[in-house]
Every structure is written in C-alpha cells, then in structure tokens.
Amino acid sequence: MTIQPTFPAPTDAQAPAEPVARVTPMMEQYLEIKAANPGLLLFYRMGDFYELFFDDAEIASRALGIMLTKRGKHQGADIPMCGVPVERSDDYLHRLIAQGFRVAVCEQMEDPAAARARGNKSVVRRDVVRLVTPGTLTEDTLLDARTNNYLLAIARMRGSSGADRLGLAWIDISTSEFIVTECAVSELAATLARINPNEIIVTDALYGDTDVGPTLREWPAVTPLTRDVFDSSTAGRRLCDYFAVATMDGLSAMSRLEATAAAAAVTYIDRTQVGKRPPLSPPAREATGTTMAIDPATRANLELTRTLGGERRGSLLDAIDCTVTSAGSRLLAQRLAAPLTDAGAIARRLDAIAAFVADSGLRDDLRSTLNAAPDLSRALARLSVGRGGPRDLASLRDAILAADQVLAHLARMDEPTQEIAASMAALRRPSRELAREFERALAEQLPLLKRDGGFVREGYEPALDESRNLRDASRLVVASMQARYADDAGVKGLKIRHNNVLGYFVEVTAQHGDKLMSPPLNATFIHRQTLAGQVRFTTSELGEIEAKIANAGDRALGLELEIFEKLCAIAVAASEDLRAAALAFAVLDVATALAKRAVDDNYVRPDVDGSLSFAIEGGRHPVVEQALKRDGQPFIANACDLSPAPQQPSGQIWLLTGPNMAGKSTFLRQNALIALLAQAGSFVPASRARIGIVDRLFSRVGAADDLARGRSTFMVEMVETAVILNQASERSLVILDEIGRGTATFDGLSIAWAAIEHLHEANRCRALFATHYHELTALSAKLPRLFNATVRVKEWQGNVVFLHEVLPGSADRSYGIQVAKLAGLPPSVIARAKSVLAKLEAQDRGQTARALADDLPLFAVPSRAAAEPAPPSESEKLMEAVRALHPDEMSPREALEALYALKAKLRNT
Ligand SMILES: Nc1ncnc2c1ncn2[C@@H]1O[C@H](COP(=O)(O)OP(=O)(O)OP(=O)(O)O)[C@@H](O)[C@H]1O
C-alpha cells in the first residue's frame, strides 16, 4: 500500500518520467516501486545496503553528507546512486526524518538464490515493508524517550452554528495513546501548540485553505493526503475495521467530525506500517474547555517545555522534572502543556503529591523501584508491530515484577488518595501468570535481536534443548578433531577455525602447507585457500559435521523464534492491562517526582477553586530561582494579589514600574508560571497560593521579529496584543511586558494607555502590566481596579543596587543610564546621556500624562456590544453560507443536502 500525497511534497524526489524502455529488470522494478511511493525517499535493499538512486540519491547524499556515486546508465545517462549500510540505517533514517523527509523502506522478500533459480534474468522480489514518517515511528533509536511522538489528523466540517469546526485525532503509536477532540478554526494554533505533533495529516484542500493553511504551514511536517482518507461516510467502518469490532458503540461516543479525523489517523498508520496494526487504546474524547488555553506565543515566551532558543535545558519542564522514568517525563510534559480547568481533577493530582510529601520513606522507596522499571509502553508497542526483541519481552516481565514491588510499598499507606488508589488498581490488572511464563522462558543474558537466538532458557522446551545439545556436541567433536588432525599431520600448530565464507576449515602456517598438499595427507586435506602466512584446507569429515551443526543450529533458532512469537502473542493479548499498568507507573512517577521537587525547593500546595482570586504570597520564579541557587544567590520572594475586591486592597490589574534589571519580567512570568503549575496539578514555588481557575493564559513578553512571516518586531508585538485584547475574558490571566516600546515614545505610550483602559473596562481580566512609561501610573486615579506596584532599588554612590522587592507605589525613574554604565558603555556616552536626560526631564512629560488622565472620558473604551458590527443581512448570510462550503470535502449526499439548505435560505430572503 502506498500513500499518495496529491501535491509535490518538499521531499519529493521524482524518478525520471520517461517510458521505461530498455532498462535492466532491476531498474524496471526500482522505477515501479518508486512511482508507487511518490513524496518519499526510497531505501532500496541490495544485500547489506539500502541504495538510493536518481534524485533520491542526490537529496540523501546532501542531507546525510555521504558520497554520491553512480551505477549503470538509464536512458543513456549515468544513474546517480548512494547507499547506507543496513546495520547503521537507523542512524541515517533518524537524520533524514529530523530534516523533514519521509522514507519508504523496500526489502528483499526472498533469498537471492531463489531468484537465481527462476532464471538468469530474474530479479529478487522486493516490496515496501514500511513507510518511515515523523509521526509514525516506533524504533527506540528514532524516538526521544522523554517526549511523546504524535501523529495528528485534522478534519473539517461545517458546525451547527454555521462556522467551520475542526476534528482532531492524535496518536502516539509508541505508547498507543489515542485522543480526539473538536475545536474552532480560531483555536487551532493554540491546540496544535499544546499537542505539539511531530506530523500532521490533512486533505490537500485544507492545506491550501486560506483560513487554516497558514497555521498548518507553521509546522515542519505536514502531509497532505487524498480526500478518501478523510471520507466521513467510511470513517466508522474504517475504525471498526482497525479495532476489529462490529460496531463503533464500544469505541466511545465520538462526534462525526472526530470520527473522521480518527479514521484518517488509523488509515495513515495502517498504510505506513504496511498492514501491521499497532494496537491502540480506544480513542479517548477530550472535552473542549477542560484545559487552560495557551496560545503558541505565550507557550513559547514562557519557555514551558523548551527555551526560546529551542533547548530543553532552562525551560520550566527541565526545572521541575525529577521523574525517574521516560514515561513519567512524557506524562509531566503533557500535564504542563495542558493545565486543567476542573478544580476537582486538579485536587486529585495535588492529593497524591501531598501524600508523598508527607511520607518521604515511601516516596524514596517508590522512586527507586520505578527507577529500575523498564519503559513498558514502548516495549509493548515494539512487540506489537513485530519490531520487538527478546529484551522487550524481558521488559514486560520486569515491569510486572516492579508492579508487585510498587504495590507492596503502597500497601503501607493507610488511606491511598483517589489517584493513588486508581493506580494501584491498574497495577493489579496484568496477569501475573504472564510474568511467570516469561520468567520460565527467558534466559539470563538476552541478545538484542531475536535472530541472534540464545534467549530461551534451558529446560523450557525439550525439543530446543535437544537441538542445542546436538549442535554443541558437534562443536565438541570439532574441537577433538583438531587434536587428532594435528597428530595425524604432525603439525602442532594446526587449528580448526570458522568464518562465514569457508565455514569450518583447517589452518596451518605457510611452511606446513606443502606437507598437507602432498601424499599421503592430501587424501584427507583438500586445499581451499592460500594466504600470505597461512594455508587453509577442508576435509569431508569437517563438511559433514558442519552440516550437522548448521542443521541443529537452524532448528534451534527456528524453535526459539516460534517461542518468541508465542510469547509475543501472549503479550499483545494482554496489551490493554499492560498499558493501564504503564500509565499507573507514569502517574506515580510524576506524583513522587513533584513531591520531591516540592520538598527540595520548598513548594506549597495551592488552593485552586472556582473563584476569581489570585493571591500569591512569597512567590518565586522556578527557573530563575534554580539558576541563582547554583550561583549561591538568594531569590527574593514576592507577593502578588489580583483577587477582586473586597478580599484585597489592591486591584485586579497591576501596573508595574521599576528600573531596568529590577526584576519586572521575572515577576510577571513567575506569577503566570505559578498559575500554570497549580492547574497542571503541581505544588508551586510560593509560601501560599490561592488561584481561581484561569481559563486562558495570555502573555506578551520579550520581543523578536518574525521575519519569515514578514513581520517586524513591533508588528509581532501588536499582533499578540490584539489577540489578548480581543479574546481575554474575566477568567483569563494576562501578562503584558512593556507593550508599545517598539515604536516612537508617544505612539507607544498611547497604545499602552488605551490597552490598559481596554483590559480594565472590556476584558475585566486579572492582569500584570510592566512598563517604563511612568506616565501610565496616573491612570490608577481613574481606574479603580488598577494598582500601581514597583520594584525597589537603592542608589548608592551614584550606582544602583537592585533589591528585587515588589512593593505598592510607582517608580519615578528608570535608572536606564545606571544600567548602561554597569553594562560598560563608554564614560563619555554615559556623561552625554545624563545631560540629554536632564534636558528632556525639564520638559516634564508627566505633566502631559496627568492632564490626559483628567481629560479623557473614563469610558472611552467601547463596550463589547457597541464594538460589534451590525448583524449581517439575509443576502450576506446566504453568501457567507456559500463561501463556507468546501465541495472537495463533501460526499455527494452532503453536497445535495447543502444545495437544498441553500434553496431554503433563498426562500427566506
Ligand atoms: N526576585 C528576584 N530575586 C533575585 N534576583 C532576581 C529577582 N528578579 C530578578 N532577578 C535577577 O534580575 C535579573 C533581571 O530581571 P528582569 O529581566 O526580570 O528585569 P526587568 O526589570 O524586566 O528588566 P528590563 O526592564 O531591563 O527588561 C534576572 O535575570 C535575575 O537574575
């Protein structure tokens, strides 16, 4: 089966399109397979190498830095070729996938001898056994153990309200996770940023769409596919087929849109694995609005899982992650990426952490057991797609043993919390008999590959023991032959050796060669090879023994492989229970790790509820605090209260002024991160925290151009600010750092001014606003929920000392020149800057601002209703309805229904 992208993908390497005339049979076969796999590089197996030809060869040699050679001619021209050794192909695949290529792996499907037997011109049968794409990897060597590897499918349909809706389905085949949800087109960017898929599949119509296309093109690996993969009328059948069930009822109640995306995802997996179906959990439906919405810019700015430079080190995840298993690390990353909005669910996570904070002995015991437990879900996934090895079977056995140890530790708890109790139930699910069977079957030392044999324990299978004994006995015979031959020939140094070309052979040094080649010894020793220092012989007796050894060895290996398949089938049949146990390990790892972080770094349990509170005492920035600690510096804790009156005397919007380098940005980010950690179900770096559920987190911090999209620094800043002012609700938390600084002073001041008024009057959200425009502090006189705060510094002998303390009030100056002096600007420039500043200050910009605050009508910000455009006329509605149709994505029946609906609308106008 082949994937048929309907557009020339960037990785497309086209073989020549001319008719295949007078080409060698092998080239004919190559071109046929290549044509059936457009858009993919073809790894064409030839002996110990995968070879690439034509454009593929040129692309791969450039991408991998390997030599480009040529082999034969095609249509009179040389055929470019390059190759990678099969043994190291994973490494090359990894590099190609990382660069956005997709690869079709074509294997030899028969022994070359079998092809030769068919005739001289016969070509070895070959077939594509697997398409390697970024979202469908299962090999450990190609995966990052600590992150999920998601394939995500997006389907589009017209929602009941008339607006387009998107159905999303995402799968990690290396862990079997399968989730579906729906979202609006406007939510797509944030949802994708949260899931962070490694590959996205869509219809080519959606890829080229003006609404959705630009968001998709931000992602490196998007694979457009033909419409049939996203056909909603066959979605149910394809899902039933994949899960081998008769009806979809048991597969959770998905919407039609979700089912369409889910079916597309499983169809693609089916195709890339070429018929092997990795077992997947039934699709779990993620209800909309259950997670905190965080747009991509905020996610990037807050450096949740990666820093702005793309590193894991220095991110929030890196700072708090002390999990001991890869699955735990993946789960923690997922939780941070998708904080919850349900206070009950958050409390369940926090209860588990609290239990492990309270009992350090239990926590340590669990962590050391988990540390030794294998990555169960990935081992299981490899086994189920036929790429597992003996060590994966051992992983299953060891995981079940570890489950018993974990249960024994947890039995010490008087009353396990709900999350812990659920994990315990999951750990009891896998059959213990499976572990015992594997224990009986598997040897102590295991080879990596099953084809190496030797992994079944002696005594497990009598027939296997018999073959092995025969093989080993024959080897002993060979050893005794060596002594006998040495005696017969009178050559002490005679040796019997083995290699893959000659098999067993007798070897003597060159000086004894003639003796063995002359009568009478030449009747026994048949000359095979003369090397510089040695001469090699065989004997008929040696040939017979060799055949016996080979037969017994082959039979032993055959039996071992049969046993492997049997054990594999047992494991796959138990996969649901094993997956549940794998998740329980991860949950316990995360809970104990967060408990350890809480104890080590002094984090507290936050109160998360349905209020609009935001009261942090002694708050710290988790990443900066750790960095300072490494340098032996203390972090100065700060409070922040954005709760609505009457609980607090300040205000829901804090306007933070203060000198450069004082710690404004740190303060803003730490409060956003505390809210995020709390809702992800973690303790937080503070001495007390009460947080009313935040539905969306917005930030506008830092400045970077987006030249790739043709946006200047200021444009990026304004686009992000626009999103906030248009979308933030009363439940949102907004942090804005120095908006307006990227343009002329008065333009910037005016924009910042108007933005604060809008946040106060229209959005009514909780917000922190840092600025160098001290004029803005005048606004607090008019806006009752605006509160001025400042970061304290001390001046000492003309220098500025940063105290990093946030206090009520406003800064009178920025100390920019002092900071510039600290940074080493030439003294002449500093002196000149001081005199310019003195002149500017004499003009007193503050006066103007105060006048503005007095003059402007307070409610100059239009209310939401007033800002809304007039309702559309009937004919506009009709035109909108036509525009929203996507004929390429409709079945004939849907198209007909749409046509009737339009006629009905026309009658209403
Ligand atoms: N609460 C704190 N305790 C100790 N050190 C801090 C604290 N806050 C910030 N710092 C230190 O001060 C440095 C500057 O902080 P930050 O970038 O937040 O300042 P800023 O006021 O936003 O500066 P600018 O206005 O120049 O952007 C940080 O890198 C950190 O090392």
Same domain? For 728 and 651 the reply is yes
The domain total for the chain is 6
Same domain? For 500 and 548 the reply is yes
Residue 659 lies inside a defined structural domain of this protein: yes
Q: Return the CATH number at 393.
A: 1.10.1420.10
pLDDT digits (tens, 9 = 90+) for 507-516: 999 888 888 8
Find the mean pLDDT for residues 155-175: 86
What would the two tokens of residue 634 be? 């203390």
pLDDT for residue 895: 84
Q: Which residue owns the Cα nearest ligand 1 atom 10?
A: 663
Q: Is the CB of 773 under 6 A from ligand 1?
A: no
Q: Is the CB of 635 under 6 A from ligand 1?
A: yes
Question: CA-CA distance, 226 to 207, in Å (whole number)?
Answer: 11
How buried is 478 (Cβ within 10 angstroms: 0-12 exposed, 13-18 middle, 19+ buried)?
middle
Same domain? For 393 and 477 the reply is no
Same domain? For 735 and 783 the reply is yes
Residue 18 lies inside a defined structural domain of this protein: no
More confident site: 42 or 799 = 42
Maximum average pLDDT range among 82-86, 525-529, 683-687: 683-687
Dihedral sign for Cα atoms in the order 585, 141, 223, 311: positive
Question: CA-CA distance, 735 to 757, in Å (whole number)?
Answer: 15
Evaluate if residue 863 carries a pLDDT over 50: no
How many angstroms does the Cα of residue 667 sit away from the middle of ligand 1? 8
Same domain? For 801 and 900 the reply is no
Domain extent, residue 710, equals 602-864
pLDDT for residue 504: 86
How many angstroms does the Cα of residue 666 sit away from the middle of ligand 1? 5
Q: Which residue owns the Cα nearest ligand 1 atom 24?
A: 660
Residue 702 lies inside a defined structural domain of this protein: yes
Domain endpoint, select from 65, 98, 132 = 132
Q: Is the CB of 670 under 6 A from ligand 1?
A: no
Q: In what order do the strands lie in the sheet with 696-700?
A: 293-294, 696-700, 733-737, 766-771, 653-657, 786-796, 799-808
pLDDT for residue 299: 87
pLDDT digits (tens, 9 = 90+) for 690-715: 999 999 999 887 655 444 555 667 77
3-state DSSP helix/strand/coil % of the chain, to nearest 5: 50, 20, 30
pLDDT for residue 850: 55
Q: Return the CATH number at 89.
A: 3.40.1170.10
Residue 308 lies inside a defined structural domain of this protein: no
Find the mean pLDDT for residues 249-278: 85
Mean pLDDT of the chain: 85
How many angstroms does the Cα of residue 850 sit away from the middle of ligand 1? 29
How many angstroms does the Cα of residue 683 sit away from the middle of ligand 1? 23
Q: Return the CATH number at 247.
A: 3.30.420.110
Same domain? For 527 and 622 the reply is no
Binding-site residues for ATP, in ranges, read 658-665
Which among 150, 133, 123 has a CA at the least distance from the CA of 44?
A: 123
Residue 298 lies inside a defined structural domain of this protein: no
Q: Is the CB of 657 under 6 A from ligand 1?
A: no
Evaluate if residue 841 carries a pLDDT over 60: yes
Q: Is the CB of 664 under 6 A from ligand 1?
A: yes
Which among 211, 365, 381 has a CA at the least distance from the CA of 280?
A: 381
Residue 559 lies inside a defined structural domain of this protein: no
Q: Which residue owns the Cα nearest ligand 1 atom 18?
A: 663
How many angstroms does the Cα of residue 621 sit away from the middle of ligand 1? 10
ipTM above 0.95, yes or no: yes
Which among 301, 271, 242, 291 has a CA at the least distance from the CA of 4?
A: 271
| Owner of token pair 């030809």 | 53
Question: CA-CA distance, 853 to 857, in Å (whole number)?
Answer: 8
Question: CA-CA distance, 347 to 682, in Å (whole number)?
Answer: 10
To test ligand 1's pocket by mutation, which of 666, 800, 814, 822 has the most ligand atoms within 8 angstroms of CB? Answer: 666
Instruction: Give me the residues paired with residue 691 across strands.
Output: 608, 614
Domain endpoint, select from 242, 273, 288 = 288
Maximum average pLDDT range among 151-155, 726-730, 824-828: 151-155
How buried is 203 (Cβ within 10 angstroms: 0-12 exposed, 13-18 middle, 19+ buried)?
buried
Compute the CA torsion angle 573, 577, 583, 586 (nearest 10 deg).
-90
pLDDT for residue 249: 66
Query: 787 — phi, psi (to 5°)?
Result: -130, 130
Evaluate if residue 527 carries a pLDDT over 50: yes
pLDDT digits (tens, 9 = 90+) for 196-232: 899 999 998 899 888 899 899 888 889 889 889 999 9
Dihedral sign for Cα atoms in the order 186, 191, 193, 197: negative
Same domain? For 125 and 245 the reply is no
446: three-class secondary structure by DSSP: coil
Task: Determine contact, residues 513/535, Cβ cutoff 8 Å.
Answer: yes
- Distance (Å) of CA 395 to CA 191, 522, 696, 767, 781: 34, 54, 41, 49, 66
Find the mean pLDDT for residues 67-90: 88
Compute the CA torsion angle 437, 440, 444, 446 (nearest 10 deg).
-50
Which among 454, 445, 435, 449 has a CA at the least distance from the CA of 567?
A: 435
Residue 266 lies inside a defined structural domain of this protein: yes
pLDDT digits (tens, 9 = 90+) for 723-780: 888 888 899 999 998 776 666 667 778 888 888 988 998 889 999 999 888 888 888 8
Band of pLDDT at residue 11, cut at 50, 70 and 90: very low
pLDDT for residue 871: 62
Same domain? For 745 and 858 the reply is yes
Find the mean pLDDT for residues 48-62: 93
Evaluate if residue 647 carries a pLDDT over 70: no
Same domain? For 210 and 330 the reply is no
Evaluate if residue 21 carries a pLDDT over 70: no
Same domain? For 108 and 180 the reply is no
Q: Which residue owns the Cα nearest ligand 1 atom 28?
A: 663
CB 765: neighbour CB atoms within 10 A? 24
Q: Which residue owns the Cα nearest ligand 1 atom 9?
A: 663
Is the pTM above the cut of 0.80? no
More confident site: 595 or 237 = 595
150: three-class secondary structure by DSSP: coil
Residue 869 lies inside a defined structural domain of this protein: no
Same domain? For 429 and 282 the reply is no
Same domain? For 276 and 425 the reply is no
pLDDT for residue 8: 34
pLDDT digits (tens, 9 = 90+) for 266-321: 999 988 888 788 888 888 888 777 899 888 888 888 999 888 888 888 999 999 99
Band of pLDDT at residue 672, cut at 50, 70 and 90: very high
